């Protein structure tokens, strides 16, 4: 695979965060009388930015979230993350092998959180400031906008970018941007990796990788 840049989703690809994030969301919703299990949160909100997640929650329950919900939920989630979480196994080693190949993050999460987590993992130097967040955007994933923004920021044709995504929502975004997409199944929230890989294939990803060791590419053309 001959690519000019590689663009990563963040949660579930670089940060092994989806279990903590969706457990926190389940707890926050249940606490305000909108009961949701961890599995339901992972199924219904996984891969979307907060704006789309809020729309989906309010549509499901037929009433608006409290005005302070996001900040209250963020406090709960922060406490869970501060208990300790790590990068996805193999992420640091993979990034270390990229050499001169440009890399970027294209995520639905808040830029402040991404920066904090990259610093915690000691991985921020790999991206040179190329961290792109769709938080606050009306059109998050599965629309291609965030991936197109990352490619533009890198100065690379989207058709020459390799995207690494763990969620069907994110994979659809990268495919819509015209990128070659690896469906990644190496994080802790993916219990059945083979089944998850099949789901990503149905979306249309070009390759499935159960770990970082299975991502093959060639450096800059």
152-208: pLDDT as tens digits: 999 999 999 999 999 999 999 999 999 999 999 999 999 999 999 999 999 999 999
User: pTM higher than 0.95, yes or no?
Assistant: no
**CA of residue 44 relative to chain centroid, distance:** 15
Structural tokens at position 59: 């549509």
- DSSP code per residue over 29-41: HHHTT----HHHH
Confidence (pLDDT) at 91: 97
Report the distance separating Cα 69 and Cα 215, nearest Å: 39
Which DSSP letter does residue 4 get?
S
Q: Residue 105 gets which letter from DSSP?
A: E
Residue 216: per-residue pLDDT: 66
- Region 18-82: CATH code: 1.10.150
pLDDT over threshold 70, residue 81: yes
Task: Find the largest Cα–Cα distance for the chain.
Answer: 54
Query: Span 48-68, mean pLDDT?
Result: 96
Alpha carbon distance 184, 205 (integer Å): 10
Amino acid 1: pLDDT: 56
The more confidently predicted of residues 2 and 6 is 6
Q: Could you tell me the residue ranges of all domains in the chain?
A: 5-17+85-214, 18-82
CATH 3.40.50.1000 fits 5-17+85-214, yes or no: yes
Cα–Cα separations (whole angstroms), residue 15 to 30, 105, 107, 120, 188: 25, 11, 11, 10, 10
Q: What percent of the chain has pLDDT over 70?
A: 97
């Amino acid at each position: 695979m001959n690519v000019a840049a590689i663009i990563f989703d963040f949660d579930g690809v670089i940060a092994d965060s989806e279990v903590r994030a969706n457990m926190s969301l389940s707890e926050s919703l249940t606490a305000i009388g909108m009961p949701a299990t961890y599995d339901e949160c992972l199924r219904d909100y996984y891969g979307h930015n907060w704006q789309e997640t809020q729309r989906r929650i309010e549509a499901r329950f037929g009433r608006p979230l409290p005005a302070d919900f996001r900040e209250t939920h963020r406090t709960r989630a922060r406490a869970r993350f501060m208990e300790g979480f790590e990068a996805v196994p193999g992420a640091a080693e993979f990034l270390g092998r990229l050499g001169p190949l440009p890399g970027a993050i294209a995520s639905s999460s808040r830029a402040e959180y991404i920066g904090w987590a990259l610093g915690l993992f000691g991985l921020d130097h790999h991206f040179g400031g190329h961290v792109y967040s769709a938080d606050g955007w009306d059109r998050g994933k599965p629309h291609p906008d965030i991936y197109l923004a990352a490619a533009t920021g890198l100065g690379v044709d989207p058709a020459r970018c390799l995207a690494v995504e763990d969620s069907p929502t994110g994979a659809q975004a990268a495919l819509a941007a015209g990128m070659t997409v690896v469906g990644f199944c190496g994080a802790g929230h993916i219990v059945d990796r083979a089944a998850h890989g099949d789901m990503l294939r149905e979306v249309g990803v070009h390759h499935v990788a159960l770990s970082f060791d299975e991502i093959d590419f060639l450096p800059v053309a």
